[in-house]
Chains A and B, each alone.
Chain A
Amino acid sequence: MILAIETSCDETAAALLAEGRYAVAQKVASQIPWHRPHGGVVPELAARRHMETLAPLVEEVLQEAAITWGEVEAVAVTRGPGLVGSLLVGVQLAKGLALSLDRPLLGVNHLAGHLLATHLAYREKGSWVEPPLPRYPAVGLIVSGSHTDLVRIDEEEGGGPGRLTLLGSTRDDAAGEAFDKAARILGLSYPGGPAIQEAAGRIEPGEPLPAFPRPLLGKGFDFSFSGLKTALLYWWEEEGRRLGERALYRAAAGFQEAVVEVLYEKTAAAMGPPPPTLSWWRWWPTAGCGKGA
C-alpha cells in the first residue's frame, strides 16, 4: 500500500493506493473558497492552508481505508513542479512519515503523476472500473492552470512508461491561466474555466462566434494563449460589451473553441503516423496556479 501526498498548488490531497492502481482511499481538500476573493491562487495563503489541512487529511485516508500505519509500504510525495511553499509542506510531512515509519520515500514529478493517472482504476456505482493500461510509446497532453504541455512517453525496457520528452509547452499563459484571465475580462467568476464553459453552453445552435485567432496553429508543438486573450479583450471592449448578454455567451464560446481547437490539432499532429496511443486528454479548466497567481 502506497501512501501519497500532493500539495503542489491549491489542493491538499492524500491517497492510499493498493496494487499500483486501486485508490482505496483518497481525499482532496480544495482551497478555492480562500483564493476566490483574490481572483487567483495566493502562494502564501496556499501554503498556510496546506499546513492546517494536510496532517488531518492523511489520518482520514488511513481511517477510510481501515488500515494501520504498519501497512504503509512507502510514502510518495509531489516534489515539484509547483509553488515552493506548498511543496515544502507536503515534502516535509512525507519525510517525517518515512523516517518515523522506517519506510521508503519516493519523490514524484507532479506532471508525471498526471500522465500516469491513466493507470488508475476508479469506482463507479460501488464497483471498480479497470481501464486498459496505456500502450507505450504514447503522447500525453497536460492542461491546467499552470501547464500546457505536450509530452512523448517512451516505453521502458521491460514494458511500462519510460523516458518523457517534452514536445511543446506554452510560451506565455497556460490554457487554464488564459481561461482565468478571459473570465476576468468578461466579468465572470473564478475559477475561469468552469465559468466560461457554463457561459459558452448558453449559445444557440448556429449562433455566430467571434473570429478569434488560433495562435501558433501549424507551427510546431508550442502553445501561446496570451494573444488570444488580448484578442478577446479588444473584441469585448470595442464591440461585445455594448451588445449585451448574448455577446458574452458568444465571446465565451468563441474563446473556448479557439483554445480547444489549438490543443486538439497540436495533439493530433504530435501523434503523427504511425499513431501511438493518445494516452491522456486532461481537459479540466481549473484554478490558476503558479505564474498566474
Chain B
Amino acid sequence: MGGPPFSDDNAAMIAAAGAIAFQRGRRDSLFLDADPSLPLSEEGWL
C-alpha cells in the first residue's frame, strides 16, 4: 500500500501509471486532448 504522501492528488501516481505505459511501449501523439469525462475503463489505459 502506498504511503500517506500519495493518498491525495499528486503527480507521483501519474508518473507511476505513465512509467508502466512507457515500459509497455505506449506513446501518445501531440494531438492528445484533455477529457474531463475520461472513463475509467477506457481501452488501452496503459
Say whether A and B bind each other. Answer: yes
Question: Using Cβ atoms and an 8 Å threshold, which residues of chain A touch B23?
Answer: 20
User: What mask results when residues 7 to 46 of chain B are scored 1 for a CB within 8 Å of chain A, else 0?
Assistant: 1111111111111111100111110111111111110011
> How far, in angstroms, from A57 to B20 measured CA to CA in the complex?
24
Number of chain A interface residues as a range: 35 or more
**Distance to closest chain B CB from A192 (angstroms):** 15
A-B residue pair count with CB separations less than 8 angstroms: 194
Q: A28-B8, A106-B18, A113-B16 are in contact. Are A79 and B27 (CB under 8 A)?
A: no
Question: Using Cβ atoms and an 8 Å threshold, which residues of chain A touch B39?
Answer: 81, 166
Question: Using Cβ atoms and an 8 Å threshold, which residues of chain A touch B18?
Answer: 2, 4, 17, 74, 76, 106, 108
Q: Are A9 and B16 in contact (CB under 8 A)?
A: no
Q: Are A113 and B32 in contact (CB under 8 A)?
A: no
> How far, in angstroms, from A93 to B22 measured CA to CA in the complex?
19
Closest B residue to A75 by beta carbon equals B18
> How far, in angstroms, from A124 to B16 measured CA to CA in the complex?
19
Q: Are B30 and A88 in contact (CB under 8 A)?
A: no
Question: Using Cβ atoms and an 8 Å threshold, which residues of chain A touch B8?
Answer: 11, 28, 284, 286
Per the CB 8 Å criterion, the residue count for chain B at the interface is: 40
Q: Are B2 and A80 in contact (CB under 8 A)?
A: no
Closest A residue to B31 by beta carbon equals A95
Main secondary structure on B side of the interface with A: loop
Closest B residue to A105 by beta carbon equals B28
Q: Are B12 and A74 in contact (CB under 8 A)?
A: no
Q: Are A161 and B20 in contact (CB under 8 A)?
A: yes
Q: Are B16 and A81 in contact (CB under 8 A)?
A: no
Question: Using Cβ atoms and an 8 Å threshold, which residues of chain B touch A27?
Answer: 11
Q: A76-B17, A79-B34, A156-B46 are in contact. Are A15 and B11 (CB under 8 A)?
A: yes
**Distance to closest chain B CB from A281 (angstroms):** 7
Question: Using Cβ atoms and an 8 Å threshold, which residues of chain B touch A17?
Answer: 12, 15-16, 18-19
Could you list which residues of chain B lie within 8 angstroms of chain A, going by C-beta atoms?
1-3, 5-23, 26-30, 32-42, 45-46
Could you list which residues of chain A lie within 8 angstroms of chain B, going by C-beta atoms?
2-6, 8-9, 11, 13-17, 20-21, 23, 26-28, 73-74, 76-84, 87-88, 90-91, 95, 98-99, 104-114, 116-120, 122, 124, 129, 131, 144, 149, 151, 156, 160-166, 280-284, 286
The 8 listed contacts between A and B (C-beta, < 8 Å) are A5-B11, A15-B12, A23-B12, A82-B36, A106-B26, A110-B14, A118-B2, A164-B40
